[in-house]
Amino acid sequence: MESISTDGKNLAEALRTTPAYEHLNDPDFFVEYPVMHSPLALPGMARAVEYLDEVIGKLEPVLLVGDRDVDGVTSTALLQRFLDQRTGPEHDLVHTLVSSEGDDYGLAGSFLERILNSSATLIVLMDMGSAHLSEIQMLLDAGKKVIVLDHHVISDPDAVPQCAFINPRLLPYCESLEHRGKIATVGLVYKLLIAFALAHTNLWNRLEILMSADGSYNLYRTGAIIHSSRHPDSSILPENLRNHLPGSLPVNEQEAQTVMESSIQDTLLSIKEGSEEAPLALNGLEKIEPELHFIHENDLVDENRRAAAPWLESEEGRLRAGQYLFASAVMQRPRLLEFMVEHSDLAAIGLVTDMVPLLGENRVVARLGMRLNNLLGNVIPEPEFRPGLGSLYSALRIHRSEWSGRDFGWKIGPVLNAAGRMGETELALDLLCSSSEEDAATLAKKLVRLNEKRKDRTKFNQSILEELLQTEPEKATAPLIVCFDERLEPGVSGILASRLMERYRRPVVYMNPDGERIRGSVRSFGGLSALSILEGVSGLLLQYGGHPEAAGFSLERESLDELEPALQNHMQSLLESTGWNGDDHSVREGLVVDLPIYGLNRNLYEQMELLEPFGPGNPEPIFRISNTSISEVKFLSGGLHAQITFQGNRNLRGVLWNRGGLIHTLMQETSLISESSPPKGTISGLNIPIRWIMGTLEADAFRGGKKRSKFQFVIQDLDSPLFDSADAAGASGDRAVAAEKNPERSAVIASS
Summarize pLDDT for 290-322 with one digit per residue, the tens. Answer: 999 999 998 998 887 777 767 888 999 999 999
Q: Please, what's the b/e burial string for 171-186 (b: 16 or more CB within 10 A of its CB; e: otherwise)?
A: beeeebbbbbbbbbbb
100 pLDDT band, cuts 50/70/90, is low
pLDDT at 676: 57
For residue 731, what pLDDT band results from cuts at 50, 70 and 90?
very low
Cα–Cα distance, 723 to 731 (Å, whole number):
9
Do residues 210 and 220 make contact, with C-beta atoms less than 8 angstroms apart? yes
Give the contacts of 155 (CB within 8 A, at least 6 positions apart). Answer: 130, 131, 132, 133, 545
pLDDT of residue 722: 82
Higher-pLDDT residue of 280, 482: 482
pLDDT in tens, 465-501: 999 999 999 999 999 999 999 999 988 888 899 989 9
**CA–CA separation, 720 and 147 (whole Å):** 58
Q: Is the pLDDT of residue 142 over 50?
A: yes
Q: Between β-strands 217-221 and 224-228, what pairing exists: parallel, antiparallel or unpaired?
A: antiparallel
Cα 489 → chain centroid: 26
pLDDT at 104: 58
Instruction: Give 711 or 124, the one with higher predicted confidence.
Output: 124
What does the pLDDT read at residue 116?
92
266 in helix, strand or coil? helix
What value does the mean pLDDT of the chain take? 87
d(CA 296, CA 740): 59
Q: What is the pLDDT of residue 105?
A: 59
CB 330 within 8 A of CB 34: yes
Structural domains of the chain, with CATH:
30-201 (3.90.1640.30), 203-332 (no CATH), 387-405+417-452 (no CATH), 472-584 (3.10.310.30), 591-729 (2.40.50)
Q: Which residues of 483-517 are buried (b: 16+ CB within 10 A; e: fewer)?
A: bbeeebbbbbbbbbbbbbbbebbbbbbbbbbbeeb
β-bridge partners, 144: none
Residue 204: which of 329, 326, 288, 330 has the closest Cα? 288
Instruction: Count CA within 13 A, CB hemisphere, residue 700.
Output: 18
Secondary structure of 91-153 as H, E, C letters? HCCEEEEECCCCCCCCCCHHHHHHHHCCCCCEEEEECCCCCCHHHHHHHHHCCCEEEEECCCC
The per-residue pLDDT for range 42-97, each reduced to its tens digit, is: 999 999 999 999 999 999 999 999 988 899 999 999 999 999 999 887 888 999 99
Instruction: Give me the helix-helix angle, 425-433 and 437-471, nearest 10°.
Output: 150
More confident residue, 224 or 609: 224
Nearest Cα to 444, choosing from 384, 387, 492? 387
Instruction: Flag whether pLDDT at 670 surpasses 80.
Output: no
